[in-house]
Structure formats: C-alpha cells, structure tokens
Amino acid sequence: MKKILITILIVSTLVYGRKIRVKMATLAPEGTEWHGMLLEMGQKWKKVTNGKVDLIIYPGGVLGDERDMVRKMRIGQIHAAGITTEGLTEIVPDFSAFYVPLAFQNEADIYKVLDDMQPTLEKKLEENGFKLIYLADLGWAYWFSKSKVTSPNDLKNKKIFTWAGDFKWAEIYKKAGYTPVPLASTDILSGLQTGLIEAISTMPLYALAQQSFGVANHMLDLKWGALMAGIIIDNKTWNRIPKIYHNDMIEIAQSIQKKHQATNRNAESQAIEAMKQFGLIIHTPTKEETLEWENEVKKMEPYLRGNVISEDIYDRVLELTGN
C-alpha cells in the first residue's frame, strides 16, 4: 500500500509539476489590440496554472501565413494559433459560412449564425485534432484600394489580393471577371507598393496596423464581410495540460475576449478616423451602387454556392440573416 501511495505521489508530481510551453502564432502585428489580448491571456494562464502553462506568442506572421500555422500545428512545430476564418477553413471548410459576401450587415446577423453553427463547428474541429478556446468577430472587412472604387466594375479593373493557397477563391474571382493575385498576407504592403496588387478586402484595424492604407488610401464604405477569429490548440498539447486547469483557462480567454469585444467597434471607428487624418478617402456608395454590389453577389452565387461554401451552409446563412 505504501509503495502504491509513493508511486501515485511521484506520478502526480511529474504530471502537475511539469511546465508546459505552448507556442502560439498569429498574424496580428505586435502592439495591436489582438496581440495585447493574447499577452494578457498568457499572463493569466500562467497565474491560474501556478506557472505550469507558459504561453509563447509569435506575432506579425513571423512563422508564416495562417495555412503555414495550421501545417506547423499538425506536425508539432507550434501548438496553438490565433487565426481568422481563413486558417480555420483549412481545418473545417464549414467555417466558410462567414464568407458569404454582404450577408452580414450588423452584429445581430453575425451572432445568429454563430449561435446556430458554433457547436457543430467546434465538434468538427475536435474531430480534426484541435480544441477551440473561443470564436468571435473582429469587425467588418471593407475594400481598400489605390484608387477610387464605388462599383463592381471599378474593382474588376484592379488587381485584388487573395490568400496564397486559396485557389478556390482565386478561381471564383476569375470566373466573375476580377483579377485575383494570390499572396501571403505578410506580402500585402510590398505588393501594394510595387503595384502587384491594387485592392484588398480587410479590417480598418489591420489596414492601420499594417500601414497598408498609406498606399491603398481609398476605402469603400460597404460591409463586404464579417471577419471572424478564434484561438485553437492542438488536442495533444491541450490534453497534456492537467484537466483541473481547463475550465479556468477557457473562462479567462472568453472573459478577455468579451472585454475586448466591447471596445472593438469603437476601436474600428477610431482607426478609420485616424487614417482619415493621414489621407484615407472614404467612398460611400449610392443606393444605385449598393444595388449593383448586391446584384454582383447574386451573379457570383453559382460560383460560391456548392464550391467554396457548401450549399446547405450557404442557404442556412441567408436564411438566418434574412437575405
């Protein structure tokens, strides 16, 4: 009996006394709101686990694009990532629900879809080897361009950024009459500066952080899409962390996320105002131009539905958002 107790104590010491280093990558540049949130989460994880979980963050895409991050998690080079739906669709294609253009025009639209689909998305991530810590919206994606864009035809005359490796979206834009140029997200600024690309769909906060607005200084005030992001950890690493800490770690992450979510919309407005002071020009489409964009999305539907976005997911998003 004494030997059994000693063995249990030794095993417990090995399991609960071992420090677990969690290497996490993100595209968020150092000093941004998203990066600050991850730093805060890491500090609180360390405290709640009595120093056993040490979160090491690699910001600004230093470890590659989001597809690179997913690949590196799969082979164990890193253990976690703060990624957008671009990376999440690499694991579970149904995250493309948030890609339906113009479907999301307010927060209510986003959370109708999120509440409806998150349990299934979370389960599918688990089945593919990843634990979802949280999923939330980062804000709206708008078109930023080097010269004025107010109509689909204006954009068709521009070389537009698409994610490197996302061949389906590049093909869809081609079929719809656009000129997509696949690039790594870390090459966006240099691509704009050299003329390799002339327009990007991104968040104002990212346009400010990456300084891309200094080149692409025209913004179309039309909510092209909702940008979602989540924190995921590979299951092997998550299961190495003693279960007694799991709930606290998730609660910390979600609490920090909610706090930042409350200020996120205001931060977006502040980013736009800051960029305007340095030359950003905002173009608000007329009713006629807005209708042109809506008709353009309808024309793109045959390429989107059943291709990039599965038919049932596409239809469900439109049903939930009232489109």
Per-residue pLDDT of the chain (323 residues; tens, 9 = 90+): 544 544 443 444 444 557 999 999 999 888 888 898 999 999 999 999 999 999 999 999 999 999 999 999 999 999 999 999 889 999 999 998 998 999 999 989 999 999 999 999 999 999 999 999 999 888 899 999 999 999 999 999 999 999 887 788 888 899 999 999 999 888 999 999 999 999 999 999 889 988 899 999 999 999 999 989 999 999 999 999 999 999 999 999 999 888 877 777 778 889 999 999 999 999 999 999 999 999 999 999 999 998 888 999 999 999 999 87
118: helix, coil or strand? helix
Query: For 2-321, CATH number?
Result: 3.40.190.170
Rounded CA separation 323/186 (Å):
34
Residue reference for tokens 């800490």: 245
Burial group, residue 284, by CB count within 10 angstroms (0-12, 13-18, 19+) = exposed
* CA distances from residue 218 to 249, 268, 281, 309 in whole angstroms, order as listed: 41, 16, 5, 29
Show me where the domains of the chain are located.
2-321
What angle do helix axes 287-304 and 167-175 make, rounded to 10 degrees?
Answer: 120
